[in-house]
Structure 1
Amino acid sequence: MSSFRKFLLRRSLTFLPTIFGVVLITYLIAYAIPADPVRAWAGGEKAKPEVIERLREYYHFDRPWYEQFYYFLVRLFEGSLISPRTGNTVFADIATRFSVTLQLALFSIFFAILIGLPLGLLAAYKRDTKIDTAVRILALIGVSMPVFLLGYLLILVFFTQFRVITLAGVPTSKVIITGIPLIDSIITLDFESLSQIVGRYWLPGFVLGFTGAGIIARFVRNSTVETLGADFVEYLSAKGIPTNWARRHVFKNSLVPIVTIIGLQFGAALSGAPITETIFGLPGLGAYAVQSIYYLDFPAIIGTTFVFAIIYVTTNFIVDVLYALIDPRVRY
């Protein structure tokens, strides 16, 4: 078996234990909450005892915690775990909200890379200058700025003052192909729908991506500065290789940590951004998770955690594969 196949096999074997561990920890935390979720599902203090009892039996809350967890786990993998709050299966609720979060994640990672990558490279090649200092200060502001503060400030400017964005509704495409309105409108050249989607998502995407841009800029700068001090850079310079060609090699050799942070940022955005989605009224996975916690909706909490875990594990796996393609030494 080749080293690359062994590398993929090792990474694949961590999938199920990681996902199982995340779901188990989430359930134990939810189980430890000193509250009666069944009574809340049945209507609170005015709930009828027979309704409470039926719900308790249906969700196995009259059994020990390990039997309850087994029930939730089986129903989860069967796809038949029902949210008592909505009456739908958890995966059905997640499916209707996933496209919103995916589009937000695409906009956020676009802005994060668009801002962070050039600034990080500029700071690295102009290190220890005023430009480098300015970029590092901007990156620090991006990392430190609370999302809710930046979001409300930009809403005040672009919605209240200039009225150039919308904060209501979720635009869709006229033709459904992939189920992702942004992608469908691009494929079908539906520029009217595309303009509506961009108008709805660009500001929350920028707010979510601004923090990521600061993190990416710092990692790009540090990785590039470290690579610029490598022996091969001096060798290329001694051979008289043009600066642009040398910078190509520098960029490729500094890609591993850059790919890492970009992958993690995209995974974080794709796992739902509860604050951003709440501020901008986007019915995505983050807002759904917050509502589930508020209403003690255990099935929805476990279902969203399960999906978030799959997203993170898959993102990390893709990043690891990119590692191995960029730098074969990672495979061993």
Structure 2
Amino acid sequence: YTAMDNSAMVLSLVGVSMPNFWLGLLLSLLFALKLGWLPSQGMGRGFWPLLRSLILPALTLGTGAAATVVRMTRSSMLEVIRQDYISTARAKGITEKQITKKHMLKNALIPIVTAVGLQFGQLLGGAMLTETIFSWPGLGRLMVDSITSKDIPMVLGSVIFMAVMFSFVNLLVDILYAFLDPRIKSQYKKSPLRRRGVVA
């Protein structure tokens, strides 16, 4: 365990435990009101003003998700590094960089991809608060405004759209499993339903 590893663990714990709305208010207070570096609300016109106004909402929305992925990556890599084939690769004289890139990271990707797919749903939910705090037009703010104005069809449409998007992302995650782990692909090819022409 190195100092960088411990620092990443502490920062990821802070990111996971910090609510999005509170982080957004703190970032807006520091960088917009105190320092005046970034706009606190709204969308700028033009490329650079739009990019500047995107920084705070992106940090607010992505901090928790990135922290979760960092923790999952760390735990998955620590689990893979204890495997026998890693010791065999080191005994053959393969460099640590090649071991990490070709052996460790690829075998540790399945839990990470799962975490990324689950984080997509949390991003959709967190966008409601983030877009409201920073006055960004988007699906989350549209849903909040629809709930406030009791626009039931718009609320239902937004919920259905989020559910479809979340299901589509999870489908992509399942498809990625076959590319990341050849064992899953071989099991699918050997499935009796596959041989009969029936796709599950």
* 2:162 paired residue number: 308
Question: What is the distance in 2 between the residues matched to 1:267 and 1:288?
Answer: 17
In structure 2, the CA distance between the partners of 1:316 and 1:252, relative to structure 1 (3 Å rule), is same
Q: CA deviation at 1:144?
A: 0.6
Question: What is the distance in 1 between the residues matched to 2:56 and 2:21?
Answer: 13
> Do 2:61 and 2:126's aligned partners in 1 also have CA atoms closer than 8 Å?
no
**TM-score under structure 1 normalisation?**
0.53
Question: What is the distance in 2 between the residues matched to 1:271 and 1:313?
Answer: 14
Q: Of 86, 96, 103, which aligns to 1:233?
A: 86
Q: Deviation string for 1:246-283 (max 9, x for gaps)?
A: 11121111111112222332343256611111111112
Q: Of 47, 56, 59, which aligns to 1:194?
A: 47
User: What are the equivalent positions in structure 2 for 1:162-311 lying under 5 Å apart?
Assistant: 162-171=35-44, 193-248=46-101, 249-270=103-124, 273-311=127-165
User: What are the equivalent positions in structure 2 for 1:82-231 lying under 5 Å apart?
Assistant: 127=1, 129-171=2-44, 193-231=46-84
Q: Deviation string for 1:309-329 (max 9, x for gaps)?
A: 111011111111111111122
Question: What is the distance in 1 between the residues matched to 2:142 and 2:42?
Answer: 16
Aligned length: 185
Pair member with larger Rg: 1
Partner amino acid for 2:89?
L
Ranges in structure 1 where 5+ consecutive residues have no aligned partner: 1-126, 173-192
Question: What is the distance in 2 between the residues matched to 1:285 and 1:276?
Answer: 11
**SS where residue 135 of structure 2 aligns?**
coil
Partner amino acid for 1:235?
T
**SS where residue 165 of structure 1 aligns?**
coil
> Do 1:263 and 1:316's aligned partners in 2 also have CA atoms closer than 8 Å?
yes
Question: What is the distance in 2 between the residues matched to 1:152 and 1:258?
Answer: 29
Partner amino acid for 1:194?
F
* 2:183 paired residue number: 329
**SS where residue 136 of structure 2 aligns?**
coil
**TM-score under structure 2 normalisation?**
0.85
Aligned-residue CA RMSD in angstroms?
1.8
Q: Deviation string for 1:161-201 (max 9, x for gaps)?
A: 222222344346xxxxxxxxxxxxxxxxxxxx321221111
* 1:319 paired residue number: 173
**SS where residue 5 of structure 2 aligns?**
helix
Question: What is the distance in 1 between the residues matched to 2:125 and 2:33?
Answer: 30
Ranges in structure 2 where 5+ consecutive residues have no aligned partner: 188-200
Q: Deviation string for 1:212-267 (max 9, x for gaps)?
A: 12101110000000110111101101111111111112111111111222233234
Bigger RCO of structures 1 and 2 (CA < 8 A, at least 6 apart): 1
> Do 1:139 and 1:218's aligned partners in 2 also have CA atoms closer than 8 Å?
yes
> Do 1:271 and 1:312's aligned partners in 2 also have CA atoms closer than 8 Å?
no
Question: What is the distance in 2 between the residues matched to 1:169 and 1:144?
Answer: 27
